Amino acid sequence: MRHDLVKGRNLAHMWSQRSVVDYGLAKRAAIQSIRNGHVESRDVCDAHPHLLRAARVLGEPTKHGCPICERQNVTHVTYVYGDELGRCAGRVKASSDLVGMAHEYEEFRVYVVEVCQGCGWNHLAVSFLLGTGDPPARGGLPG
């Protein structure tokens, strides 16, 4: 697992982090395909305008250079999804928000997308589960 993505975002030691999926191999394969001429950079530098806006307004800067244009650093955009999240599902969250959410909700999945605001490169970097792991409190009598 590439701990730099998670560590750099103060999530490496989060008590409830589990089921981590690192997409580094897929990223390396995409970059290699471009460098080998099998894929055009415009085919992978296709960030949706909403993703670019999220990166600009809500994203978290990194010290990692864009692997395609190499002109600027990528930004991390973190999305959260889970049945318990209600209206928060599918929203962008700051890594600092995840700590409180991990104590509040049973389970939700976090997706970190790296985005270059210069060339439009975007790639899912890592995903993982957070949450208490406890079943949600249910009203009513057992039965």
Nearest to 109 by CA among 138, 130, 140: 130
* Residue appearing with tokens 């406890």: 134
pLDDT tens per residue, range 23-58: 999 999 999 999 999 999 888 899 999 999 999 999
Neighbours of 43 (CB within 10 A): 11
Q: Which stretches within the chain are classed as H helix?
A: 3-7, 24-35, 41-44, 49-57, 95-104
Angle subtended at Cα 117 by Cα 59 and Cα 128, rounded to the nearest 5 degrees: 40
Cβ-Cβ contacts under 8 Å for 55 (sequence gap 6 or more): 47, 75, 77, 115, 117
How many percent of the chain have pLDDT more than 90?
75
The whole-number average pLDDT for the span 14-26 is: 87
